[in-house]
């Protein structure tokens, strides 16, 4: 050990702290030494690989996008195929298809079997099996364009496409085709959100649930399947009402489900239910809009009424990857709203008069986090 200390840079032997330690790590001399020293070379390799993965992340996401756009996961789920077969059906040269397939194998989405045929890995199979995942991946070409100039993006100089993709956020009306696109995208993503919310929050004892901003009713349909006696009410813009009615009719829930039209930004939220849910709503809006909405929810509920919030959340003082390195950027690109921590949402609820009962640990932070509050008087 004495010999090793004699060989290491003298700055390391002084046990530097804080910023000085960071400066030491960034030193080219130290990096060269650490890469060759037996006790540190593994750390250097792992950190280097991690940094390279961050650098290559955009390429990985584009490989994923290409797989989904070419519909390769579904094709391989039906039967393993060769590069030649995939090149033919996707109208891509075989040379380029091989590159795509090898890249997909490198990030563990597909694997090559005997005979030269390709098949899905478990992770690749999720591209077909996870509800709405394919649609969300295709949707991300907009976000990629918005982030093309990151300096301009973080300075607020970018006219982002996502801001115009979600016109409902700004209170404007939607054309029928835009409403259909919005409703379909949200509905496909709501199944996973509903699964995790129902595992985290107990809805028993609720007689009637109003889902504010509930769109096509996908979340309420999931709740209604588990709680067969629950009255279901969607409150949202009139443009999305037809898809909600069709959904409840197809699910056999028309007798206990209805749609109320209105905008929570400009209209009063009706009374008559003992619980309100806000599913992926708050993070679309500014703090001022959220404060007004929570106050309206408080006024609409009876004493003892429940408020259920479910959406992706920031880690706050302990940043986490889904909330802070993805959803925070997505909402920034929308030019409204933000990813908030459970503590921030709790403070907003308490300011509106609610008592926050629980903020369960998220099962899958990349899907949703939950908060349960109550009106005491």
Which CATH number belongs to the domain containing residue 258 in this structure?
Answer: 3.40.50.150
Say yes or no: 158 and 58 in one domain.
Answer: no
In this prediction, residue 11 carries a pLDDT of 45
Supply the pTM of this predicted model: 0.83
What Cα–Cα distance (Å) separates residue 336 from each residue in 162, 184, 288, 307, 340?
10, 21, 11, 23, 13
Please check whether residue 119 lies inside any domain of the structure.
yes
Instruction: Spell out the residues 6+ positions from residue 41 whose beta carbon is closer than 8 angstroms to its own.
Output: 34, 35
Please check whether residue 135 lies inside any domain of the structure.
no
In this prediction, residue 33 carries a pLDDT of 80
In this prediction, residue 16 carries a pLDDT of 46
Share of the chain above pLDDT 70, in %: 89
What Cα–Cα distance (Å) separates residue 344 from each residue in 278, 279, 296, 352?
16, 16, 19, 13
Instruction: Spell out the residues 6+ positions from residue 324 whose beta carbon is closer than 8 angstroms to its own.
Output: 314, 315, 339
Say yes or no: 247 and 160 in one domain.
Answer: yes
Please check whether residue 244 lies inside any domain of the structure.
yes
In this prediction, residue 192 carries a pLDDT of 87
In this prediction, residue 42 carries a pLDDT of 82
Say yes or no: 49 and 61 in one domain.
Answer: yes
Give the bridge partners for 371, in sequence order.
309
Q: What's the rounded Cα separation, in Å, for the pair 24 and 14?
A: 11
Please check whether residue 137 lies inside any domain of the structure.
no
**Cβ atoms 138, 65 nearer than 8 A:** yes
Q: What total of structural domains would you count in the chain?
A: 3
**Cβ atoms 299, 356 nearer than 8 A:** no
Pairing of strands 257-261, 117-120: unpaired
Q: What's the rounded Cα separation, in Å, for the pair 13 and 26?
A: 16
In this prediction, residue 12 carries a pLDDT of 47
Measured N-to-C along each axis, helices 41-69 and 94-106 cross at an angle, to the nearest 10 degrees, of 130
Please check whether residue 136 lies inside any domain of the structure.
no
Measured in degrees and rounded to the nearest 5, phi and psi for residue 204 equal: -65, 145
In this prediction, residue 22 carries a pLDDT of 75
In this prediction, residue 132 carries a pLDDT of 78
Q: Which two tokens stand for residue 144?
A: 């990629």
Q: Measured at the alpha carbon of residue 112, what is the angle toward residues 106 and 114, in degrees to the nearest 5?
A: 155
Query: In the β-sheet with 81-82, what is the strand arrangement from edge to edge?
Result: 81-82, 117-120, 110-112
What Cα–Cα distance (Å) separates residue 259 from each residue in 4, 132, 264, 311?
73, 24, 14, 22
Containing domain of residue 14, as a range?
2-39
Residue showing tokens 């279901």 = 232
Say yes or no: 216 and 228 in one domain.
Answer: yes
Say yes or no: 35 and 104 in one domain.
Answer: no
Say yes or no: 147 and 124 in one domain.
Answer: no
Say yes or no: 51 and 197 in one domain.
Answer: no
- Residues of the chain where predicted confidence (pLDDT) is lower than 50: 1-6, 8, 11-16, 169-170
Say yes or no: 269 and 153 in one domain.
Answer: yes
Say yes or no: 122 and 35 in one domain.
Answer: no
In this prediction, residue 243 carries a pLDDT of 83
**304-330 core/surface letters (b: 16 or more CB in 10 A; e: else):** ebbbbbbbbbbbeeeebebbbeebbbb
Say yes or no: 156 and 31 in one domain.
Answer: no
- Write the CATH number for 60: 1.10.10.10
Q: What is the mean pLDDT of the chain?
A: 88
In this prediction, residue 183 carries a pLDDT of 57
């Amino acid at each position: 050990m004495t010999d090793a200390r004699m060989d290491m840079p003298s700055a390391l032997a002084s046990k530097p702290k804080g910023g000085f330690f960071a400066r030491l790590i960034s030193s080219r001399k130290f990096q060269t030494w650490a890469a060759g020293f037996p006790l540190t070379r593994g750390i250097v390799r792992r950190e280097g690989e991690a940094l390279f993965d961050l650098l290559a992340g955009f390429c990985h996401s584009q490989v994923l996008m290409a797989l989904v756009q070419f519909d390769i996961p579904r094709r391989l789920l039906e039967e393993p195929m060769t590069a030649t077969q995939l090149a033919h059906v996707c109208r891509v040269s075989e040379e380029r298809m091989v590159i795509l397939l090898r890249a997909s194998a490198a990030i563990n989405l597909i694997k090559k079997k005997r005979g030269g045929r390709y098949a899905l890995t478990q992770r690749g199979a999720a591209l077909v099996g996870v509800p709405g995942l394919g649609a969300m991946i295709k949707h991300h070409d907009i976000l990629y364009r918005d982030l093309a100039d990151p300096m301009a993006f973080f300075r607020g100089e970018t006219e982002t496409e996502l801001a115009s993709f979600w016109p409902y956020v700004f209170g404007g009306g939607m054309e029928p085709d835009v409403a259909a696109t919005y409703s379909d995208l949200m509905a496909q993503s709501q199944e996973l959100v509903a699964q995790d919310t129902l595992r985290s929050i107990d809805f028993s004892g609720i007689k009637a649930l109003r889902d504010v901003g509930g769109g096509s009713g996908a979340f309420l349909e999931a709740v209604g399947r588990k709680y067969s006696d629950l009255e279901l009410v969607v409150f949202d813009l009139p443009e999305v009402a037809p898809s909600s009615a069709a959904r409840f009719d197809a699910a056999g829930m028309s007798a206990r489900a209805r749609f109320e039209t209105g905008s929570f930004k400009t209209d009063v939220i009706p009374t008559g239910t003992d619980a309100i849910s806000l599913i992926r709503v708050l993070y679309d809006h500014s703090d001022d809009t959220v404060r007004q909405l929570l106050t309206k929810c408080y006024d609409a509920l009876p004493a003892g009424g429940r408020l259920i919030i479910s959406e992706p959340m920031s880690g706050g003082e302990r940043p986490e990857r889904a909330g802070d390195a993805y959803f925070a950027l997505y909402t920034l690109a929308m030019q409204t709203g933000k990813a908030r921590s459970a503590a921030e949402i709790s403070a907003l609820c308490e300011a509106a008069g609610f008592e926050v009962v629980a903020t369960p640990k998220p099962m899958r932070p990349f899907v949703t986090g939950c908060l349960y509050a109550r009106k005491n008087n």
